[in-house]
Amino acid sequence: MSRVEQRFLAVGIAGLVLCVLGASLDAKAMLGAWVAAAIFAISLPLGALTILMVHGLTGGRWGEAVRQPLRVMIAMLPFALILLLPVLMRLDLIFPWAGADSAMLSEKVREKLAYLNVPFFLLRFAVCAAIWLVLTWVMLGSTSEDSEKAGNGRKYALGLILHALAVSVFAIDWMLSIEPEFTSTIYALCEASAEVVGAFALAILVLAARRAVEVIPGGEEDVALSEDLANMQVGFLLTWIYLVFMQWVVVWGGDLPDEIGWYIIRATGGWRYLLWLLIALQAAAFTGSLGRRLKRSHDGLVWLTVAALAGHFADVFWRIRPPLFSGGLLALWHDAVAWMGLGGLWLALFLFLLRRPDRIVWWRREVAHG
């Protein structure tokens, strides 16, 4: 491992030690902080899976440029799934329906208990994990030429269908059911689009750190590769913005009490400042990507991408953390150590695989041979 990777690993281990200490003091508070960080960690590989399968169907120079960092993110999926294990061991600390007396739950939640029960939850997660691991194995074995071969379009189309179903189940189980009174038929699409925004932003940052993308030719004459990447990013951002806005319009326009309560929790107290920051970051990334001058500048592309990735981080934290948070500003130390431990380990492994892509091929070969 390089010196940078060793430092991230040391930070991650130190963070894990502090997480164990935090769990011994207040397991519920510590696990609430951990689940938000773990969901962010898994969102990047899931978004990378979506992008690579879409590129397998459509092709394009933009996909070839970011293929390697996306493959590394996909290879991180097994590790991201492992990060969810602490939550699986104590579901009752995160989900109000898990292990609770049904008589103490609202009528609306009791009507959902045929779906929201621990054995069925674990079964659904196992199926989703199996789908993603199979897709990971398939996508890591595919090459850039595979999308041009006859019949491979069906493989990517089937993969996208299975992936969409798994993401939908995952969003309902791990996010919506934290507040089981809340119902949204568009939430899974919001989550899927957010995953794509985060994964694509990270892929551009990795590419920009290694190459001067603003001088590489794009897909058309007099168009730089940086413009193509920025245009794709603004398309993904626009999709996310549209879906999130439509969910808000339906909830407020329909005057739905339980659904409005979901927004009220996240728009009061200190959370409203995070909401403003989220809006500002994604608005800056979107509007900035409309100007050609920034897209043809290396620094401009980097800053636009940083804003998009930071916006995705704020979005995940804003959606997941408020109902699980209790206490004042000092209680955020649980989040600090959770992100420290999880982030340090994730970055150490990500940078190692990025520097040693041959280890991805080795991992896939070992899986294939059992």
Q: What separation, in Å, do the N-terminal and C-terminal C-alpha atoms of the chain show?
A: 26
At 331 the pLDDT is 83
Give the pLDDT confidence score for residue 228 in this predicted structure: 83
3-class state of residue 76 by DSSP:
coil
At residue 364, the pLDDT reads: 54
pLDDT single digits (tens) 89-145: 999 999 998 877 777 778 888 888 889 999 999 999 999 999 999 999 888 877 655
Taken in order 214, 141, 155, 175, the sign of the CA dihedral is: negative
* pLDDT at residue 362 in the model: 52
The confidence score (pLDDT) of residue 222 equals 67
d(CA 31, CA 19): 9
DSSP per-residue letters across 194-207: HHHHHHHHHHHHHH
Q: What is the pTM of this model?
A: 0.91
- 193 vs 188: CA distance, rounded Å: 9
Whole-number pLDDT of residue 89: 92
Regions in the chain scoring below 50 on pLDDT: 368
Amino acid in position 259: E
The alpha carbon of residue 317 and the mean position of all alpha carbons in its chain are separated, in whole angstroms, by 11
Residue 37: Cβ-neighbour burial (10 angstroms; 0-12, 13-18, 19+): buried
Return the H-helix or E-strand segment holding 164.
helix 152-174
